[in-house]
Amino acid sequence: MDPDLLSIQEARTLATTARDAQRIWANATQEQVDRVCAAMADAAFRAAERLGRMAAEETGYGVPEHKKLKNEFSARNVWESIRDVKTVGVIEHDPARKLYKIAWPMGVVAALTPSTNPTSTTIFKTLIAVKARNAIIVAPHPSAKKCCYETAQLMAQVAVANGAPPGLISCMQHVSLQGTQELMKHRYTALILATGGSDMVRAAHSAGKPAYGVGPGNVPVYVDRSADLEKAARYIVGSKAFDFSVICATEQAVVADRPIARRLEQLMKLEGAHFVTEHEAEALRKILFRPDGAINPATVGKSPQYLAAMAGFPVPYTARILVARLTRVGKDEPLSREKLTTVLGWYEADGWEAGCDRSIELIQFGGRGHSQIIHAQDDKVIMAFGLEKPVFRIGVNTMGTLGAIGLTTGVMPSMTLGSGGIGGAITGDNITVHHLYNVKRLAYETTPPPDSALRPGTVPATPVTAPDPQTIEKVVREVVAEILKMSS
């Protein structure tokens, strides 16, 4: 059978099965829900290394050990953050306002997952969906379908063993664009949860269903003259090198305050940053991006040595990232774009105001609504960045990769980071269980209605004039003639 038809039929079958399972799961108690989710989180945590290795081998992206850490984060940290959240029945009561809030599941969630973080995203989305009493169907990127299926199957088997209905958790195996579109538009799909590239997010938002989608993150990191430079250098290099830079919150360009720029450069070199020449930067421009500005998939999630070999120049085996000195932002400077690989831009700015302007320029070019990192000790500078940046996550003195997802900061642990209205998304939140259920309000009267609302009002007389007999006869003749014409 045609692969597209197979994929379409699989989407329809899984959606129907998921709908039936979700109708059963919607009646689960909080105790049942939490038992199933705890068991799934434990199983995913124990399988983190195996699933991380599978993801790296299948996609060719990133570092297996780092994918293991992301899997553990999605299983442990995400579950710990939502474990005590009420998702069944009355979840909040305000006695003063005589108001009850009651959780109500969405239904069937279509979960689009990326090739860059496939298994960790599958774990994360499955936990928050099932915790909210939804069914979930994972629609993986074609290059990550095996590891996503293995992850979803593991969690599905554990869920059923602990009392969940079969079919509540599933993953497409016959993956195609047409099949994914069928899943998103299927009448039983209630919500789309899309994590991936811009094209995927646009498709999710145009499917005619409620959708949470995330846009790209061209994340600048400003290093102020007041910063702890040793810590900043260690964190920036470590964050950019983490899983070869496939997390969308990874730093994409350093904006260094000029008085400390040389010292920061020296410290970053000690951490494994290799600053390339202009000739080498030009070679990187040619291999990293296509003429239309899209990143070359062959360069995503690759080591500095791999990229340098592709570009035709040598780098030391000790290099962890490549850094290119830049002066422009925009289409005429490809390296100012988001780079989901181990290449980092480098800008210098004289003072935090200039650093702020350069950061906004980078954000506006390709990361509206996503994230910004700042290293500083001056609270006034930090607050200025927080108030002025058109992003919804500003990480302070932390790694972009791990800070934005909530491993090293207090934001909600998540593998799907909203970019808000300015970034083309419905929310700027870190997506979590609260986004996957609706809330009913049971509201008692607290204020009597005004007397005027209960008294009958004056009804204005509206004269009704009947049509004359000649008009009625004319209309009847026209209708009869039309009927005779159609029958002949």
248 carries an active-site annotation: yes
Question: Is the distance from CB of 199 to CB of 213 less than 8 angstroms?
Answer: no
At position 252, the amino acid (one-letter code) is Q
Across 18-142, the runs of DSSP E, i.e. the strands, are 90-94, 99-105, 108-112, 135-139
DSSP label at 334?
Answer: G
**Which residue bears the tokens 């491993």?**
407
**Which residue bears the tokens 């105790």?**
31
Strands 135-139 and 108-112: parallel
**The two three-digit tokens of residue 79, written as one number:** 């579950």
DSSP label at 76?
Answer: I
Among the residues of 60-176, which ranges form H helices?
64-72, 78-82, 118-131, 145-161
Q: How far apart are CA 251 and CA 423, in angstroms?
A: 18
Strands 108-112 and 99-105: unpaired
Residues in CB range of 342: below 8 A, 6 or more apart:
240, 241, 244, 245, 302, 303, 304, 307, 320, 321, 322
Active-site residue, selected from the candidate residues 37, 148, 248, 356: 248
Q: What phi, psi does 109 have (nearest 5°)?
A: -105, 125
Beta carbons within 10 angstroms of residue 298's beta carbon: 13
- Give the chain's end-to-end CA distance (angstroms, integer): 45
Q: How far apart are CA 142 and CA 148, in angstroms?
A: 10
Look at residue 252 and give its three-state secondary structure.
strand
**The two three-digit tokens of residue 173, written as one number:** 């195996």
Task: Name the packing angle between helices 118-131 and 48-59 (round to 10°).
Answer: 130
Q: How far apart are CA 261 and CA 267, in angstroms?
A: 10
Question: Cα angle at 399 between 406 and 326, to 5 degrees?
Answer: 135
Q: What phi, psi does 60 have (nearest 5°)?
A: 80, 10
**The two three-digit tokens of residue 315, written as one number:** 């780098």
Look at residue 251 and give its three-state secondary structure.
strand
Q: How far apart are CA 406 and CA 294, in angstroms?
A: 28
Active site residues: 248
